[in-house]
Structure 1
């Protein structure tokens, strides 16, 4: 066994104290980081702030683009495209209704054809509960 003098023991103790202080400091930082991750309200506030900043930036760039002559020309072109698409859709709807109203055969109830009626029966019942017309005459 070796014997250490008073100076050697104090040096080892001082190193241990510094090591413990470093470990406490690192542990404190780790705890602060974990607490920050666990603070949902603060994280939500931060996300809201980021979203608000992005929205402001986007709005500012949109205002700049809209106020320029190039932006106004694009808006006019977009309006023409939207109006054209609406006209085409309206024409398609009108054409479909026009064709179906002309091409529908008149319903005749003769042999092999059933009248457009809906009959509702309850389980175990022999008479109809409701009889309702479903088509045109």
Structure 2
């Protein structure tokens, strides 16, 4: 079965959390696409909604939202995810992945879109959160 490292960003607090997803939590992400929202209960965060914002595979190749499917492809890029030009008009052929999450993906980036009743700090047992 697939295993993912999920980097969950909370824009309200400015913090990011790393989640190791295996088993049913990882299975719930297979077949999803960048930009889709999922229920946080799948990952153990009741009441939360989470949007997938990006991903990368084991070699660090990023996934692009505008490329359908899970496969790796070599595209001629002029800007965007996977290539940042140095000179004006520069284009380069780069490897990128499609927008579908598959077993080849290692890291999934996500952001909180709807908050639950408990703050995220309580899920991660952060003692400084209780003191605030």
User: If the TM-score is normalised by the length of the shorter chain, which range does it land in?
Assistant: under 0.3
Q: Based on CA coordinates, which of the two structures has the bigger radius of gyration?
A: 1
TM-score under structure 2 length normalisation: 0.15
Higher normalized contact order (CA 8 Å, seq sep 6+, divided by chain length): 2
TM superposition score normalised by structure 1: 0.14
Q: Which structure shows the bigger proportion of residues in strand conformation? A: 2
